[in-house]
Amino acid sequence: MNVTPMVTSDPRDRGGKAQPLLRVKGLRKHFVIKRDLLGRPLSRVHAVDGIDFEVRKGETLGIVGESGCGKSTTARLLMHLLQPDGGEVIFDGDPVGTRGGLSLREMRRQMQMVFQNSYASLNPRMTIEESIAFGPQVHGVGRRESRQRARRLLDQVGLLPERFAQRYPHELSGGQRQRVNIARALALEPRLLILDEAVSALDKSVEAQVLNLLGDLKQEYGLTYLFISHDLNVVRYISDRVMVMYLGKVAEVGDSEALYRAPAHPYTRALMSAMPSLEPGRRTQTAPLAGDPPNPIDLPPGCRFCPRCPLAVDLCRASEPELAALPGGGHLSACHRAGEVQAEVSNPQPSVEESVR
Amino acid sequence: MSLTLDTAVSPMAAPPAEQGYWRSVFARLRRDPVAMIAGLILLAIVLMAIFAPWLAPQSPYSTSMLSRLQPIGSPGFPLGSDELGRDVLSRLIHGARLSLLIGVMPVINAFVIGSAIGIVAGFVGGRTNTVIMRVIDVFYAFPAVLLAIALAGALGAGLVNSLFSLTVVFIPPIARVAESVTTQVRNVDYIEAARASGARSLTIIRRHVLGNVLGPIFVYATSLISVSMILASGLSFLGLGARPPMPEWGLMLNTMRDAIYVNPWVTVLPGMMIFTVSICFNMLSDGLRSAMDVKL
Amino acid sequence: MSTYFLKRILYVVPITLAVSFFCFSLVHLSPGDPMDAVVSADAPREVVAMVERAYGFDRPLPEQFALWVSRALQGDLGLSAANGRAVTTEVFAALKNTLLLALAASLIGFTLGCTFGLLAGYWQGSLLDRLVTGFAVGGVSVPHYWLGMLLVIVFSVELNWLPSSGAGPGSSNDWAFEWAYLRHLILPAVTLSVIPMGVVTRTVRAMVAEILAHEFVEALRAKGLAEKRVFLHVVKNVAPTALAVMGLQLGYLLGGSILVETVFSWPGTGLLLNNAIFQRDLPILQGTILVLALFFVLLNLIVDLAQARLDPRIQRS
């Protein structure tokens, strides 16, 4: 959403507008999935395989990709709910979780997360008010004060406090619960809100309402969003910039409009061609994505999109492409043939189809 | 906030008045006749134990050589007398105290200790969990009765030793259940959310884990009381628990056993009591389990 | 042979060691000097010296344990403190009788449990189901030593049909498969069978009800399949679990028979244990518990392996 935050001067702001709020370098996470009799790892899944990106102050960065591409793992790594195997997370200039940097506790005040499953992310034995007030209480805010804050936030997310504060999660609808989860995340007054498939489980009409709410809250509190979703339409609607992930790697990053207009990675293009559209003139032109993603346990040696890519050449099979800037700046793609892909999409006559068997 | 078109706050979608979890559990339990009857019988027996001195017609200890082994319905001995001429009714009433105590206490102790072990193991996870659960597994190599008898037998007869042995017997199963429910809860998003809000492990356990795991563990523990009653009285029956002349049902069963040919039906009475308590606990536990919708 | 099988078999090693350690430590758990626990006060001096050498109580604990294990591996579990006979001989003689009792009880319990469970599961909610369920709850709630006494009162005292104690005519311990001996087995075996009966009934009933509620059973029926085929299908699905439950129950009976053996003076491990407790005969106590526990470990292993063979899903979890 292209809104300029009303709140411009956050006392916690360190480096000004020019410094990214979040900078991620080489973030990695492997899961050991099989061990031998002595407990030594036999095979691993590269869930997040060294990714770099940044989130600018006040923007919404969308992350898209198929399930299993590492989107959610990335979110959990950022919150340090999972211990990264490598890489750096820098929050407003401060490295997180290292000596002399930002402590995890402090980081979690500034960065909060809304989970996909609205029901599972609320304690069934706690009232709505207790759930929202829990965070502030943990950080030393008094009982009364945090309850007041909870009620204020409930009001702010569109749930009348006098009617909802004392209810239990199972007495609420999915949309209502997700509003509670948003209120809970905001209770710590974070600067960055990670929304991990936060609206994916909701009905379309409810989804739209929650998206509007998110837009309003962003403006009101000067928030920055990291919006993770598999739904390209929603991501396009809400994001300023979009990052496409494929099997634990960044495939492409760029301004939302530019990326949707002229994708520079064959994977992005395939995703978009599978995107449902209501305009008859924009019906699918290129071939949809064929096959399944390769098994993330034994990846192909070169580009990991190779086995499914209609444009793959020998170079792609031999060496893994780096994420590199395209001419014009601001748009990065991890494809050896990025330029050609972009050119082809702008060209209404897709010659790619010939290479698709 | 401009949220005029919000179905989420429309009065139609408003759920019914808020209801606490425990209140709904008890409401469901009340509709279960079997569990209610079992509960009432147990309540009566507990009251009988509490008010034993006022209820019992005679002292449970006063012996009389003249009125030994009276049958049921004898004057002055409504339920007969034992081999030392003591009033069986009075001894049964007084026996409820000790029998309930030694039957229920081990489970309460094991509930506290086993839950603590299991919750910590389940919450911490990883290697710590594996080590704790492997040690627990060792106890599974013994059938419960054998373990209780081995410990009580080695430690020697006595109430404290019997209590201790049975506590040890029930810790492993409770710890196992506690570990498994905690592991399930630990992986639910609200724990992650709590951690994401910066809460320390102890706070998370106290505020988020306990409320969600103690219910199922409690239900499981109640299902063990029946076994515990049988075993505790069984140890006394073997002469390992209560010592004569204490009134205790298992011990009474043992001492009156020699009179089985003389006065058979009086002999049976203490066992009847153990059976009643045991089966009532089982039925109450079953009712509680379905009322709380616990799957173990 | 999959890694599951290998792992499961290897897992027996640490468990066996731990069980042995527990049994070993029983002597030290017992109050007073461990020497007093393993040898009677009036034993001749040479016996005391021999026992002292065998146990090595003056050496550090790990060494004592190693010594004890190495002797146990050679079949030497020490001498009874009460009568000076070899523990191994005593235990195995008694084990034979306990096994016989436990097997008979399992057989009765299993047969009744399966029948009841099938009936109740098939006609869920009926009067029959309620009766059977109540019976099963009774089976797991009854103090079996008391049930034994009840049976004695009815069948021995009142009706005088069956003997109330011992294992054979003239209290002979040389058991034989003759009617005179079998009569002695009936009451203890029936008494002991109520627990597995209750457990098996509950398990089978729940499983049958679950299978019948499955959609594919509806489909089978809709296809006009005879009830007999549906029944066979149910049996095929229930059998492995029922057998596994029974296998474990057999193990529990081995340990749990002590109270029933005491009631009926059945000359098995339970009676042996009971006597050992009264005479503070720690070597017998220790040896009996070790043998029974190891038997139980082995039984668990067999049940697990058999179940994994029948149901490949287990290997993956």
Q: b/e per residue, C159-170, with b = 16+ CB within 10 A? A: eeebbbebbbee
Ranges of beta strands (E only) in A10-85 are 22-35, 41-55, 60-64
The Cα of A33 is separated from the nearest Cα of chain C by a number of Å equal to 13
- What is the predicted pLDDT for the residue at C175? 64
- What is the predicted pLDDT for the residue at A280? 57
* Interface ipTM: 0.84
The one-digit pLDDT tens for each residue of chain C (317 residues) are: 577 788 888 888 888 999 899 988 888 887 777 777 777 777 777 777 777 777 777 778 888 888 888 888 888 888 787 777 888 888 888 888 899 899 999 999 999 999 999 889 888 888 888 888 888 888 889 998 899 989 988 888 888 788 777 776 655 556 666 777 788 888 999 999 998 999 999 889 988 888 887 766 777 777 766 677 778 878 888 888 888 888 888 888 887 788 899 888 888 888 888 888 888 888 888 899 999 988 888 888 888 888 887 776 655 54
Residue with tokens 């060496």: A319
Contact B1 A158 (CB under 8 A): yes
The Cα of A37 is separated from the nearest Cα of chain C by a number of Å equal to 8
A166 shares a domain with A67: yes
Residues of C in contact with B222 (CB under 8 A): none
Query: What is residue B207's three-state secondary structure?
Result: helix
* CA C131/CA C133 separation, integer angstroms: 6
Q: b/e per residue, A62-81, with b = 16+ CB within 10 A? A: bbbbbebbbbbbbbbbbbbb
Q: Which two tokens stand for residue C117?
A: 């469970």
A300 shares a domain with A239: no
For residues B59-77, average pLDDT: 79
At which of A245, A273, A300 does a domain end? A245
Residues of C in contact with A39 (CB under 8 A): none
Residue A292 has pLDDT above 80, yes or no: no
Give yes or no for A318 touching B (CB within 8 A). Answer: no
Residue to mutate among B34, B145, B224, with most C CBs inside 10 A, is B145
Phi and psi at C267, nearest 5°, equal -75, 60
A80 shares a domain with A119: yes
Q: Does residue A41 have a cis peptide bond before it, meaning omega lies within 30 degrees of 0?
A: no
Q: How many domains does chain A have?
A: 2
Give yes or no for B55 touching C (CB within 8 A). Answer: no
Give the model confidence (pLDDT) of A95-107 as tens digits. Answer: 887 778 888 888 8
Residue A215 counted as domain residue? yes
Give yes or no for A18 touching C (CB within 8 A). Answer: no
A299 shares a domain with A176: no
Chain A with chain C: Cβ pairs closer than 8 A: 4
Secondary structure letter of residue A355 according to DSSP: G
- What is the predicted pLDDT for the residue at A16? 78
- What is the predicted pLDDT for the residue at C172? 54
Residues of A in contact with B8 (CB under 8 A): 158-159, 173, 175-176, 179, 206, 209
Contact C256 B143 (CB under 8 A): yes
Q: Quick one: CA dihedral B33, B34, B38, B44, positive or negative?
A: positive
Residue A348 counted as domain residue? yes
Contact A138 B199 (CB under 8 A): yes
Return the number of other C-beta atoms located less than 10 Å from residue C39's C-beta. Answer: 22
Contact C141 B278 (CB under 8 A): yes
A216 shares a domain with A281: no
A239 shares a domain with A161: yes
Whole-prediction pTM: 0.84
Res. B232 pLDDT band, cuts 50 70 90: very high
Contact B196 A205 (CB under 8 A): no
CA torsion, points A95, A98, A103, A104, in degrees to nearest 10?
90
Facing residue for B143 by CB, picked from C30, C251, C274: C251
A118 shares a domain with A53: yes
Contact B268 C15 (CB under 8 A): no
A136 shares a domain with A285: no
A228 shares a domain with A337: no
Residue with tokens 């043998």: C291
* Comparison of pLDDT for C143 and B70, the residue scoring more: C143
Residue A6 counted as domain residue? no
Read off the CATH number of the domain in which A59 is found: 3.40.50.300
A276 shares a domain with A224: no
Return the number of other C-beta atoms located less than 10 Å from residue C223's C-beta. Answer: 8
Residue A168 counted as domain residue? yes
For residues B128-132, average pLDDT: 90
For residues A297-326, average pLDDT: 82
Residue A14 counted as domain residue? no
For residues A255-280, average pLDDT: 80
A190 shares a domain with A270: no
Contact C30 B267 (CB under 8 A): no
* CA B143/CA C248 separation, integer angstroms: 9
Residues of A in contact with C1 (CB under 8 A): none
Q: Angle C200-C205-C208 (CA atoms, 0-180°, nearest 5)? A: 120
Q: Which of B102, B157, B251, B234 is nearest to C30 (CA)?
A: B157
The helix or strand, by DSSP H or E, that contains position C263, with its residue range, turns out to be helix C227-264
Contact B150 C137 (CB under 8 A): no
Residue A327 counted as domain residue? yes
For residues B17-29, average pLDDT: 71
A271 shares a domain with A236: no
Contact C140 B282 (CB under 8 A): yes
Give yes or no for A171 touching B (CB within 8 A). Answer: yes
Contact A124 B212 (CB under 8 A): yes
The helix or strand, by DSSP H or E, that contains position A227, with its residue range, turns out to be strand A224-228
Give yes or no for A42 touching C (CB within 8 A). Answer: no
Residue A96 counted as domain residue? yes
* CA B157/CA B160 separation, integer angstroms: 9
Residues of A in contact with B5 (CB under 8 A): 209
Res. A269 pLDDT band, cuts 50 70 90: confident
Residue A22 has pLDDT above 70, yes or no: yes
* Chain B: residue whose CA lies nearest to A153: B1
Q: Which two tokens stand for residue A272?
A: 């978009």
Residues of C in contact with A38 (CB under 8 A): none
* CA B131/CA B19 separation, integer angstroms: 41
Q: Domain span at residue A315? A: 264-356
* Of A30-44, A148-162, B188-202, C163-177, minimum mean pLDDT range: C163-177
Strand partners, C258: none
The 3-state DSSP composition of chain C as helix, strand, coil percent (nearest 5) reads 80, 0, 20
Residue A217 counted as domain residue? yes
Facing residue for B261 by CB, picked from C144, C145, C157: C157
Residue to mutate among B41, B138, B180, B255, with most C CBs inside 10 A, is B138
